Amino acid sequence: MSNGTFYVTTPIYYVNDKPHIGHAYTTVLADVLARYHRAAGDDVWFLTGTDEHGQKVEKAAAKNGMTPIEQCDTTVVRFQELWKRLGITNDDFIRTTEERHWKIVQAIMQDLYDRDLIYKAEYKGYYCVACERFFTEKDLIDGKLCPDCQREVDTIVESNYFFRMSKYQDWLIQYITEHPDFIQPAFRANETLGFLRKPLEDLCISRPKSRLSWGIELPFDKDYVCYVWFDALINYISAIGYGVDQARFERYWTSCIHLIGKDILTTHSVYWPTMLKAIGLPMPKTIFAHGWWLTGSRKMSKSLGNVVNPMDMADKYGVDAFRYFLLAAMTPGNDASFTEEDFLQRFNTDLANDLGNLLSRVVKLSIKNFGGTLPAPPPLQPLELELLSKAALAVKQLENELNAMKLDRGINAVMNVVREANKFLERTAPWTLAKEGKTDRLAAVLYTAAQTLEIVSGLLFPIMPEKMTQLRRSLGLSEEEIVKTDFQSLSEFADPSATKRTMVDMPPLFPRIVVEKPEEAAPAKPEKQKKQEVKAPKTKDVVVPEGMVTIEQFFKTQLRTAKVLEAERIENKTRLLHLKVDLGNGDVRSLVAGIAQQYAPEDVIGKTIIVVANLMPAKIAGFESCGMLLAAKNETGLKLVTVDGGDAEPGLTVG
């Protein structure tokens, strides 16, 4: 990374309900990226905010007995309080009800209307209130359900205003093709290009006030308000001065990275670029779509009652531990499974056992043997130099993974250094050196471990600022040194002869969480045997020939159709692909399949395959595999078993 500019945005969140783990993940990810880029010396601007217009907000307000703006003012506080609680360092928080935003929206609409890029026409369509989107009949499920949320849609016929989005279809295809970093991960770009294979229709950008009054009024027709998506997307430019402070806008805009959930990919990768092209503005640098948090293999959903409240997790286990889990457990771009058991396992392993225990041993040994102030050690031996070299390498590894938006891998590289440091202590046995009076060697070992902890704490500071402040304070760093976590300073080792820091023994950094097992129920007392024994009815024994199964055994296997949504290669596993497949009714699963030598990831995305749906989940190559796909094998390799035509809906029973 260089000393340039870095502009990162989250989606602006709807104010019709309270925030959930998906909101928290995107915002924490943006915060950590912003903190790392500040550490790299970049001029950073970090934007988040709330989307406060539209039918969902109007309905929520009516349900709660409020005006729409009262609903917004009440709910926005929940987001602002949560971001403060989670240590979010956003530079700006925009609300679409603010004058600085709606004036820019109106100015853009008027300009597009004056240039005949917005026109009025009658429209018949199918409208989903939950998604605030229109769909054509061919998009619907069973002719009546929204393809995104599976709720029933409304049929609407009315006059509306349209943006000539179709005019830019060929340009957008060419732009995406020629700019591979524009939509990330790459399979999301392929997904967008697949969407663009069909003719692109013009975008309805208004709602009549007779149906929806809560929105930004069209400057050229007072009887209509702006469509919420057309309004909301413009926040990314209105917040940084477009049309008001052009110098500030131009400083940040072209370095922009939009972080979004994959469910709003189309609006950001199709609607937004065509809008920008029509306005006459350059594109943002990257649109990065991350995956969903799942409970087991299912998407979190209020209707399913499996949504994780981030405030509860932060209160129960600590903010920094929650931030760490979110970023370490999800590969940006892919789905990840959340369970409290997984959280506790990672907490106890990574944070309590590895990092916390390392700090405790170094500090206690230093205090016991040197009063906490290590003397200047003798020249370091190869073991010490090897560990410090690995720590320095982790700085570069984290930078590289950060640039590639693979933050989980960067975190893993840092935690590998922590594990190496623990191994280093086991090999050098400083407690034995102390007993034997080898103080020079002991000083060298403890200096090396402390220096490694200083580097690690600097690398993890953007993720866990409170806990890493505590760690660095325990190492005896000054308040000025504690916040000095830029990458250059982390790569420069302190001069052993000048190291006069006094370590402080503090409460455990991450106290291990003891998971209480539920008490086993007492065995039921056997009922008194009846005097007369009841004989079971005789059954005819069935002899099953070897290699055969009964019909009952066969039907225990549940075969279902599944559509492949995502596919990626697994690092260092030449035979394996990691797939995300849709089995219908919101059942999205992770599968690991040994087909990588026959199929590239892009070859299988979109295929309708057959999977064993009731196979016991297993952990394969670090991924949870919930099922097994069917493939035929011959002398040339494997051939996927797919449904004829490939267009069958997911979730159909096979057999």
Q: Give pLDDT tens digits for 265-298.
A: 999 999 999 999 999 999 999 999 998 887 655 5
Q: Could you report the per-residue pLDDT of 49-75, keeping only the tens digit for each?
A: 999 998 888 888 899 999 999 999 999
Name the CATH topology of 340-498. Answer: Isoleucyl-tRNA Synthetase; Domain 1 (1.10.730)
Determine the Cα–Cα distance for residues 458 and 394; give it in Å rounded to an integer: 11
pLDDT of residue 556: 65
Dihedral of CA 138/141/147/153: which sign? positive
Q: How many CB atoms lie within 10 A of CB 3?
A: 9
Residue 93 has pLDDT above 70, yes or no: yes
- pLDDT for 355 equals 97
pLDDT the model gives residue 313? 81
3-class SS of residue 624 = strand
pLDDT band at 422 (very low <50, low <70, confident <90, very high): very high
Stretch among 211-225, 259-273, 305-319, 376-390 having the lowest mean pLDDT: 305-319
- What integer pLDDT is reported at residue 563 of this predicted model? 82
Summarize the confidence of residues 306-324 as an average pLDDT: 83
- Tell me how far apart the alpha carbons of residues 131 and 145 are, in angstroms, rounded to a whole number: 12
Please give the span between the terminal C-alpha atoms of the chain, in angstroms, as a whole number: 55
Bridge-based pairing of strands 623-625 and 298-299 is: unpaired
pLDDT digits (tens, 9 = 90+) for 147-160: 878 889 988 888 99
Average pLDDT of span 428-433: 96
Provide the CB-side half-sphere exposure for 390 (13 A, CA).
20
C-alpha to C-alpha distances, 364 to 441, 507, 508, 520, nearest whole angstrom: 17, 12, 11, 39
Q: What CATH fold (topology level) applies to the domain 5-290?
A: Rossmann fold (3.40.50)
Tell me, what's the pLDDT at 89? 97
Q: Report residue 529's pLDDT band, with 50, 70 and 90 as the boundaries.
A: very low
Residue 470 backbone dihedrals phi, psi, to 5 degrees: -60, -45
Band (618; pLDDT cuts 50, 70, 90): confident
Within 8 A by CB and 6+ apart from 112, the residues are: 118, 163, 278, 279
Mean pLDDT for all residues in the chain: 86
- Least trusted range by pLDDT, from 114-118, 189-193, 438-442, 527-531: 527-531
In 290-356, where does DSSP find H-type helix?
310-317, 319-329, 340-346
Every domain of the chain with CATH number 1.10.730.10 lies at 340-498
Q: How far apart are CA 614 and CA 562, in angstroms?
A: 13
pTM of the model: 0.76
Within the chain, all domains assigned CATH 3.40.50.620 are found at: 5-290
What pLDDT is stored for residue 534 in this prediction? Answer: 39
567: left (phi over 0), alpha (psi -120 to 50) or beta: beta
State the Cα–Cα distance between residues 288 and 405, nearest whole angstrom.
9
What's residue 18's pLDDT?
78
Report the CATH architecture of 551-654.
Beta Barrel (2.40)
Least confident segment among 169-178, 333-342, 452-461: 333-342
